[in-house]
Structure 1
């Protein structure tokens, strides 16, 4: 399957356009992941956790994770969990 220079040029231009779109999407995702969580949202989550635990839990720290999805964060927490003996 031989391709002419014109066909190759069209393919390269098409790939360049797709790459530009992908780079814009990545830049937008980075902006979202770098955004801080408002204090009122952290307080609402803390209240929900406290209510779930029956007001027995204490929040000692808040760690911001740079994962794209909640599922990825959950997997990381499960994999990092070390059972206490």
Structure 2
């Protein structure tokens, strides 16, 4: 006796997989659309003003990219993990 699936079960499995692939393709398209949006002019002006205030002069901004990951959290972890304090045993002075 074999446990091979019937044609109806195979068709149902294929249809479920097609739906999953379509959902993943839609999600990928949505994420690409988010990344492709231009940065609004007011945001660009705010970034330019912040850079000018930091540098003390007007600077030309060449590129600005949206970050979709937790860049601040990653940078904070890197700063904390990079700040190593070495503990040494006190040596008796002779």
Structure-1-length-normalised TM-score: 0.59
Coordinate RMSD, CA, aligned:
2.8
| Rounded Cα–Cα distance in structure 2 between residues aligned with 1:45 and 1:65 | 12
Structure scoring higher RCO (CA < 8 A, sep ≥ 6) equals 1
Structure-2-length-normalised TM-score: 0.55
How many pairs align?
A: 71
- Which structure: greater helix fraction? 1
1:74-85 equivalences under 5 Å are none
- Runs (4+) of structure 1 exceeding 4 A deviation are none
Q: Which sections of structure 1, spanning at least 5 residues, go unmatched?
A: 76-85
Q: Which has the larger radius of gyration?
A: 2
| Rounded Cα–Cα distance in structure 1 between residues aligned with 2:42 and 2:66 | 20
Match of 2:62 in 1: 62
Q: CA deviation at 1:58?
A: 4.5
